[in-house]
A and B are shown apart, each in its own frame.
Chain A
């Protein structure tokens, strides 16, 4: 097998024409997100181009410092992203989320690259793309979990206050919200595993097949990364919420909602 066919830049640019269709449908359906669509498409193109250039450099000049720096930038950005979507929570909660994301993803990347694949953690060809998948999914999972958690507790203030007046402990009151948010945020990851192989071929596997990897090898990678992602999403959310909800009440068992 050969590597993927290189895309001709003119042919490649034709793909942007598809966006015109999306814009037309948005206009017709009164969706005022045209600007967002354009900005997102441009951002994606620029960011990926930059990432491509940097990756080319790192792959041609392998150096542990570069790999580590790249991984750190990804982690810091993901933490920044989650926290910027949740500005209204208290600082201890933010710290808990940051630590959960950092520790869970670091552990999962090291485990996957060094144990499952069985190569050096500083090998940029493996650790950077695999880390991207693990960190990206964990980031989305936590963002969703915290959103659901916050919405649920603030929409059920009357219930929470009634139970506090009753003499129930904040742990007992808040734990159901923690469990429920974990479940809600895990579902997309679990559901995506169900359709795999039948409805669609997942991105990583598609990429590997396009670049000439044997399908069997691609499948093993895909299965392994899906399970690693699921575990990473689950652990990151669990730690964020399990330690995070404890920042919502004080020694006098008074609950604050952010």
Chain B
């Protein structure tokens, strides 16, 4: 039996800042969508409009068939989590960082065993007492992804997730993130320059020019 794909994000005549025009886009639910295109085409801008940190100047975005402008943005951002390209971590240990981020969401901190699970997904074999200032750029990016992933949102948007990683590492980690997402019914949207990555992992590709 053939089942029609459910659409989680849909855009119509979308324009940002009166200058960047987007094609009409459909993002299927529970699938992996890659957004590709030249730099400056507006890929990051699109993700920021999807989580309501930017507002379009024209056109509509629908999230689960509701106009995004009618959704309370804090609730939206918790469901549609954007992991940005620039990494921010607090001073302190891995455990401190989990604690801080959870307190900003006004949620109870994760148990150690659960933190370990997310570190494993991102190939971080460290004690929770490891000081983040002693970590490399790639390790910091992986920790950042691990923390955000641990909130188990409905949609996860990764902006150039592999920018600081080597090829082998990045494929392994993306594979782990995608299988975690599949198990938990998380829709994944990835912006990436890495052609190989999208060839291997994309269920769906959106080209923005």
Contact = CB atoms under 8 A, between A and B. Distances in A.
B is a partner of A: yes
B55 A252 contact: yes
B73 interface: yes
B104 A166 contact: yes
Nearest to A254: B53
B53 A169 contact: no
Interface stretch (B79-87, B123-131, B160-168, B176-184): B79-87
Given A158-B86, A164-B53, A165-B83, A253 B74 contact: yes
What DSSP secondary structure best describes chain A's contact surface? helix
A162 B88 contact: yes
A163 interface: yes
B148 interface: yes
Interface in B66-111: 69, 73-75, 77-78, 81-84, 86, 88, 101, 104-106
A167 B77 contact: yes
Q: Which of A164, A169, A254 has the most CB of B within 10 A?
A: A164
B51 interface: yes
B117 interface: no
B105 A166 contact: yes
A13 B45 CA distance: 65
A168 B104 contact: yes
B52 A252 contact: yes
B54 interface: yes
The 7 closest A-B pairs by CB, nearest first: A167-B78, A162-B88, A167-B77, A168-B104, A165-B82, A253-B73, A159-B88
Interface of A: 158-159, 161-169, 172-173, 252-254
